[in-house]
Structure 1
Amino acid sequence: MRCTVLGAGSWGTALASLLAGKGYTVTSWDKDHAVLDDIARNHRNERYLPGAPLPATLHANPDAAKALEGAELVVLAVPSHAIRPVIIEAKRHIHAGTPVVCVAKGIELDTLMTMSEVLEDVLPVPLHPYVAVLSGPSFAKEVAKGLPTAVTVAARWERIAKQVQDAFHTKMFRPYTSGDVVGVEIGGCVKNVVAIAAGISDGFGFGANSLAALITRGLAEISRLAVRKGANPLTLSGLAGLGDLVLTCSSDLSRNRTVGRGLAQGKSADEIQRELGQVAEGVRNAKSARDLARRLGVEMPITESVYRVLYENVSPREALTQLMMRETKPEI
C-alpha cells in the first residue's frame, strides 16, 4: 500500500513510522523542509521526535503533488487550524476511492466545523464517504517507541473504518472502529480544553480530588456538547472520550496540561507555547468549543472558565472561584 502523511510533526511522524514499519510505501509531506530533509537523510525527526529512529523506508517530499502521487491512503496530521488550507491544496491530487484519515483534534474557529465537516466542505462529494478520523489516548512519543496503544477509527461507512483499522493495526497499535464520527471528534477536541484546566489545578497543587472532579465534570460537558451534535453518548465513555481525557489530564507528556501549569505560574499562553515549540490545540479550541457550545445552547462551565483565562485576562484563581461558586444543582 502507498500511503501519504500530510504533516511531519510528532504525531504525523509517529504514524508515518508505524505505517512504514508495516512495509507500506510511505511519504511524509510538510511545509517545514528542514524537517523533511532530516527524515529523508538521517531517518530522524529531531525537531518533533528527538531520539526516535525512523524506518529507512519512510520517504519525504516537499512537493505535495509528488508526495500524494499514487496514494491509496492519505493521513492528515497537520494542526487543526491548518486542515482547510492543506486539504484545499491536496484535494486535486487525491484519487477517488482513497480513504482520507484526519488525526487532527479541533473545531475550526471561523466556521465552528469539526475537522470531518471541514473536509467535507472542501472535498468533492464522491470523496465524502471516504473521510475517517482517528482519535484516542495516544502520545506520539509512546507510539514511536512501540508501546501498546489503543485508539478509535470512526467513519460513516463501516467498510472505510475497517479499511483504515486494518491499515494501522499492529501488535502494539490496536484501533477499534466506530460509526460515530462526531462523538469521536468532539471527545478528541474538548478534552484538550479540560486538560488545560487540569494543568492549572496541578500547578496550584490542588491534588487528586480536584483532578478527579475535573475529569468527571469535564466528561459531562464534553458529552452534552457531543450529544447535542448528534453523537452516541456511549462513545464518550470509550477510548476517544474518557480514555483520551484521562490521559491528557494526567500525564506530563500532555502539552495542554503543560499550558495549564504554566498559566498557574503566571505565564501567558503564547509564552508557554513558544517554550513547548509545538501547538497545544486546547488554546484555540477553548474559544471554538466555547463558541460552539453557546451557539447550540450547551452549558460548559469548565470550558467557559478556561476561555476566560485565555482570552479575557481572568486570573486562574478568580476563574476557579467563579467555577466553584456557581449555583448548586443536582449532578444528573
Structure 2
Amino acid sequence: MSKIAILGGGNFGTALAQHLARINKEVILYSIEPEVVQDINTRHHNTKYCGNIHLLHNITATQQISEAVQKADALFIVVPSFAVAEVTKNMLPHLDKNTIIVSTAKGLTPEEKRMSQLLEELLPKTFHDKIVALSGPSIAGELLMEMPTAVALASKKIESAKHVSKYMNNKNFTTEINTDVIGVELGGFLKNIVAILSGISKGLVKSVNLQAVVVTQAYAEVMTIAKAMGAKQETLLGLSGMGDLLVTCFSTKSRNNRMGQYLATGLSVEEAKEAVGQTVEGVHATKIAYQFAQKKKINLPLLEKLYKVLYENRPITQDFFELNS
C-alpha cells in the first residue's frame, strides 16, 4: 500500500483524497488553512469545502508541507494555477527522488507556460519524466459520493501515467492514458472559455437550442487555438477536452458557467467574480487565447466578443449571440 500526498485542501483536493483513500493505505492532505486541517484531523470533515461529508479515517491533514511530501509515492498538486509555482518551490526540498508528481491545475502562466512546463522549469531534470497531467469531467461532489468518473492522465513517459492509474482505478473510477500532455492541459484550460459563453447564453435567453449552438461554435474556436498550440485533435475530443467541456458547460456547479450567468444579469466582471467566490480560470484563459489568436491572425468571433466583455467593458445585450452576425 502507498502513501499519497495531496497539496491543496479545497473541494477537489479533498474529493481526490477521499477517492484515493479508498484504494491506498495512507493519504495526507496539505492545507494552509488551520481550520481545514483541524476539522479533518478531529472530526473527519472538511466542512468549509465539502459540507457534512464524512472523510475516511486514513486521511490526515497537515499545515507542514514537508510532512505531506516526504516519502510520498505520488503527489497531487491541487491548487489554483497561480499558486503552483509557490507550492512547488516549497515542496522541492522535501521531495523524494522516486515521487511521481500529478498536476491537476488548469491554467497557464502569464508567460503562456502550461503547468507541466512550469514544473519542468522548477524541478530537477530527473523529475521531468515523472510529471503527469490530470484532467477530465470530475466534479468534486460526485467524486466524494463515489459516482462513476473517468479522467485523462498524460505524461511524456507513459509508464508514469500508468503508474498513477494504479493508485486511482477502481470499479467507479477509470483513467484514459496518453502522451499528449499539451492536449490534456489545454483542453482542461481552454474549455473554461466555452463554459463562460455557455453561461452567458443560458442567462440571456434560457434556450437550450441557443446554448448548444454557442457551445458547438465556441468549442470549434477553442480547438483551433489548441491545435495551433500543438494539441492533438483526438485528445481534444476525449475526456480532457470534450468530456470536461460538457460537464463544465451544463453543470450548475461549474464556476465558469455561473460566471457567465452572472455577467448576463448585468453584473460587472468583478461583481460576477465575487458572486462566484472562487477562482474563475476562464477569465485568464480568454485573455491568453485572444492574445494568441491576434498574434497568429486567427479570426474567432465568439472569443473576441467575450474578451471585450471581460477586458473592455462591452455590455451584454440580447443580440450578443445573433446567429447571422
Into which bin does the TM-score normalised by the smaller protein fall? over 0.9
1:187 is aligned with what amino acid? G
2:23 is aligned with what amino acid? K
* d(CA) in 2 for partners of 1:123, 1:295: 30
The Cα RMSD (Å) is 1.7
Q: Summarize the Cα distance change of 1:51–1:290 in structure 2 as closer, same or farther, 3 Å threshold.
A: farther
1:275 is aligned with what amino acid? A
SS across alignment from 2:72:
coil
Q: Summarize the Cα distance change of 1:293–1:84 in structure 2 as closer, same or farther, 3 Å threshold.
A: farther
* d(CA) in 2 for partners of 1:32, 1:257: 27
Contact 1:153 1:178 in 2 (8 A): yes
Q: Does 1:98 align with 2:99?
A: yes
Contact 1:112 1:292 in 2 (8 A): no
Q: Does 1:62 align with 2:56?
A: no
Contact 2:3 2:73 in 1 (8 A): yes
Q: Summarize the Cα distance change of 1:312–1:319 in structure 2 as closer, same or farther, 3 Å threshold.
A: farther
State the shift of 1:268 in Å.
Answer: 2.6
Query: For 1:22-62, what per-residue CA distance to the aligned partner results, in whole angstroms no more than 9, with x for missing partners?
Result: 13311111222211221111111111111221111101110
Q: Does 1:27 align with 2:38?
A: no
SS across alignment from 2:47:
coil
Query: For 1:191-245, what per-residue CA distance to the aligned partner results, in whole angstroms no more than 9, with x for missing partners?
Result: 1111011001000125122211222122212222222222211111111111111
Please identify, of 243-252 and 290-299, the stretch whose mean Cα deviation from structure 2 is larger: 290-299
* d(CA) in 2 for partners of 1:95, 1:269: 42
Query: For 1:141-190, what per-residue CA distance to the aligned partner results, in whole angstroms no more than 9, with x for missing partners?
Result: 11111110111111111100101111111211111101111001111001
State the shift of 1:291 in Å.
Answer: 2.7
* d(CA) in 2 for partners of 1:234, 1:179: 12
1:163 corresponds to: 163
SS across alignment from 1:317:
coil
* d(CA) in 1 for partners of 2:15, 2:196: 24
Contact 1:8 1:28 in 2 (8 A): yes
Counterpart mapping for 1:180-195 below 5 A = 180-195=180-195
Contact 1:192 1:256 in 2 (8 A): yes
2:176 corresponds to: 176
* d(CA) in 1 for partners of 2:39, 2:291: 39
* d(CA) in 2 for partners of 1:131, 1:117: 10
2:143 corresponds to: 143
* d(CA) in 1 for partners of 2:97, 2:116: 17
* d(CA) in 2 for partners of 1:319, 1:245: 24
State the shift of 1:273 in Å.
Answer: 3.2
Contact 2:154 2:181 in 1 (8 A): yes
Query: For 1:257-289, what per-residue CA distance to the aligned partner results, in whole angstroms no more than 9, with x for missing partners?
Result: 001000011113333333333222212222233
Counterpart mapping for 1:149-298 below 5 A = 149-298=149-298
TM-score by length of 2: 0.94
* d(CA) in 1 for partners of 2:90, 2:293: 30
* d(CA) in 2 for partners of 1:141, 1:70: 29
2:311 corresponds to: 311
* d(CA) in 1 for partners of 2:287, 2:100: 30
Contact 1:28 1:58 in 2 (8 A): yes
* d(CA) in 1 for partners of 2:42, 2:270: 33
State the shift of 1:119 in Å.
Answer: 0.8
* d(CA) in 2 for partners of 1:221, 1:25: 43
1:46 corresponds to: 47
State the shift of 1:250 in Å.
Answer: 1.0
* d(CA) in 2 for partners of 1:95, 1:291: 39
* d(CA) in 2 for partners of 1:3, 1:254: 27
Q: Does 1:74 align with 2:75?
A: yes
Please identify, of 283-292 and 307-316, the stretch whose mean Cα deviation from structure 2 is larger: 283-292
SS across alignment from 1:316:
coil
* d(CA) in 1 for partners of 2:252, 2:302: 21
State the shift of 1:297 in Å.
Answer: 4.4
2:19 corresponds to: 18
Contact 1:112 1:291 in 2 (8 A): no
Contact 1:191 1:222 in 2 (8 A): yes
2:193 is aligned with what amino acid? V
